[in-house]
Chain A
Amino acid sequence: MRTLSSDTIAILRSKRFKLRTLLNLMPDGVDPLCLWDDRGRISYGGDVYIGKPGRFTLSPISSSADFSIRNMDVTLSGLDQQAVAMVESAEWHQRPILRQRAAIAVDRPQILLVEEEFAGFMDQIEWGEVIDDKTSLIIHCESTAREYARKGSRTASDADQRQRDPEDAILSYQASAVSQTIDWGPNPQKPPQQQKSWLQKVFGL
């Protein structure tokens, strides 16, 4: 369970705070590239995020509950040849990427809380056209949900559950829950027959 300080709760309740995006790219062979969309640098979680407002854009993402893959594109613009060489020397394919949203206090430099928005892998990299010795880089990412949709041999049945634990009867009523009568109480008895009304007697109901 997340614990928030009373100061943090008070600030969030005041409904006045700043939101910033933290982006952490983790290619292989180089240090993580951490960016955020404000000025200057901040340190969070052991990483130093470089302020590059306007230098990177993120495509909108949607949430899902059906384990389908969510995609996100990261566009880094204004890259010079030195940055291009750094990108080319690193291994990016299927390396992790993390996008987080940070709430920051208005009246002091304090990060109130950080929420994960997207966690996934960098899949493809696309270079933009070089204009005036600068170029852009588009990183196509896919979410970790891609690992959750694989189907196996497990079923939600008592027999399957007994294979895991012979003593576990949690699913013993799974297949017949609709028609299975479960008696409650120490001495189950049939309910007394109710007297028929005169209409029921007349029409033989």
Chain B
Amino acid sequence: MSLIIPQGFPLEMPTRSDGVLPFNQATFKPLYGITKAPNRGSKQQVVELAPQLWQMRFSTPNIYYDEAIELQTWLEMLQGGLRLFKAYHPHLTYPLNYRHGFAGLSRAGGGSFDGTCSVTDFGEALDTLMIGGLPAGFSLRLGDMISMPFEDSRILHRITAPVVADVAGNATLSIVPPLPISFAVSPEVTATFYKPWCYATVDADSIDGPFQEGQFGSVSFSAVESF
């Protein structure tokens, strides 16, 4: 099966002809910039030295060499990390309650719903997000992800509590990691649940796969979020 390899940087992830990512396994886990130290009072000191990053790992099912070489081409386009790509979790292309898409959903205020919403406010502790423009009763589960632009980059968050939008299409999300300190909702911020993505840098040393003719195996690589 031939992959669709996009052009232009930052690079979009490769997809099959049906638009599905060729990866059947992926992990998005936080990479913390934290130092810890126990002290005399048995109270452990935990200090964050750098903002949290998403650390990712992608793997395909076993594939033959001719398909693996297409993925290798895409990875080589990233030039060992000099070029960025737009990373999203292959199992979270849509929220977990809407795996087959948003067809038939309409916003509470009118118009079809495409997975985007407007960010109207955020909590003082930077761990809650108020959004609007959703369909009434739109439900999100623990583990869904949302992304939005932030200055000239992108931020990606995971939802930590189930939530249902009210009749007006508004909802308050609990998220991790917290929003950046200087986050603002003005100018208007549009977040998305469809392919929630962030910029990422591939770890060239982690690339592995059946790249020799005749081989059969899994292609895998790791990456780290990049601002």
Q: What is the interface of chain A, defined by CB distance below 8 A to chain B?
A: 15-19, 37-42, 51, 53-54, 104, 106-109, 132
Q: CA A184 – CA B194 in complex, angstroms?
A: 88
State how many angstroms separate the Cβ of A93 from the closest Cβ of chain B: 32
Which chain A positions have C-beta within 8 A of B183? 40
* Given A15-B39, A15-B44, A108-B125; A37-B50 close (CB under 8 Å): yes
Nearest residue in A to B79 (C-beta to C-beta)?
Answer: A132
- Give CA–CA (A18, B48) in the complex, Å: 4
B49, B82, B124, B153: the one within 8 Å of A39 (CB): B153
- Chain A residues contacting B221 (CB-CB under 8 Å) are none
Minimum CB–CB distance for A98 against chain B, Å: 20
Select which of B43, B82, B125, B153 is within 8 A of A15 by beta carbon.
B43
* Chain B, range 28-78, C-beta contacts under 8 Å to A: 39, 43-51
**Number of residues from B at the complex interface, CB < 8 A:** 24
User: Is there contact, CB below 8 Å, between B47 and A19?
Assistant: yes
Is A38 a contact partner of B180 (Cβ separation < 8 A)?
A: yes
Residues of the B chain whose Cβ atoms lie less than 8 Å from the Cβ of A42? 181-182
Known A-B contacts A38-B180, A54-B227; the reply to A18 vs B47 at CB < 8 A is yes
On whether the beta carbons of B47 and A109 are closer than 8 Å, the reply is: no
Instruction: Tell me, rounded to whole Å, the shortest Cβ–Cβ distance linking A187 to chain B.
Output: 52
A interface footprint on B175-192 (CB within 8 Å = 1, 0 otherwise): 000001111000000000
Min CB gap A182→B, angstroms: 43
CB-CB nearest in chain A for B37: A15
The A contact surface, by secondary structure, is: loop
List of B residues within 8 angstroms of A39 by Cβ: 51, 150-151, 153, 155, 180-182, 227
With an 8 A cutoff between CB atoms, is B126 at the interface? yes
The distance in angstroms between the C-alpha atoms of A38 and B179, with both chains bound, is 12
Interface residues in B156-192 (C-beta closer than 8 Å to A):
180-183
Q: Is the CB of A108 within 8 A of B153?
A: no
Q: State whether A19 touches B49 (Cβ < 8 A).
A: yes
Whether B43 contacts A53 by the Cβ 8 Å rule is no
Find chain A residues with CB under 8 A from B127 CB.
107
Q: Is the CB of A19 within 8 A of B48?
A: yes
Which of B82, B153, B181 is the one whose CB lies under 8 Å from A132? B82
Interchain CB contact under 8 A, B46 and A40: no
**A109 touching B227, Cβ below 8 Å:** no
Assess A15 versus B46: contact at CB under 8 Å? Given A39-B150, A39-B227, A132-B82.
yes
Complex Cα spacing A38 to B49, Å = 9
Q: Which one of B46, B51, B125, B182 lies within 8 Å of A107 (CB-CB)?
A: B125
A16 touches B153 (CB 8 A): no
Chain A residues positioned under 8 Å from B182 (CB to CB): 39-42, 51, 109
Q: CA of A53 to CA of B44 in the docked complex: distance in angstroms?
A: 27
In whole Å, how far is A33's beta carbon from the nearest beta carbon of chain B? Answer: 17
* Neighbouring A residues of B39 by C-beta, 8 Å: 15
Give the chain A neighbours of B227 by CB distance below 8 A: 39, 51, 53-54
Q: Does B47 lie within 8 Å of A108, measured CB to CB?
A: no
Complex Cα distance A39/B46, Å? 20
Closest 9 pairs between A and B when the two form their complex, measured CB to CB: A40-B182, A15-B45, A18-B48, A109-B181, A39-B180, A40-B180, A107-B125, A41-B182, A16-B46
- Residues in B neighbouring A37, C-beta threshold 8 A: 50
Q: How far is the CA of A19 from the CA of B227 in the complex (A)?
A: 19
Given known A39-B151, A109-B126, contact A104–B181 (CB-CB < 8 A): yes
Q: In the complex, which residues of chain B have a beta carbon less than 8 angstroms from the beta carbon of A108?
A: 124-126
- Taken together as a complex, chains A and B put the C-alpha atoms of A106 and B124 apart, in Å, by 11
Within 8 Å by CB of A53, from B51, B82, B155, lies: B51
A15 to B126 Cα, complex, angstroms: 20
Name A131's closest neighbour in chain B (CB-CB).
B82
Chain B residues with Cβ below 8 Å from A17 are 47-48
Nearest CB of chain A from residue B44's CB, rounded to whole Å: 7
Complex: A53 Cα to B53 Cα, angstroms: 11
B148 CB to closest chain A CB (Å) equals 13
Are the CB atoms of A40 and B47 closer together than 8 Å? no
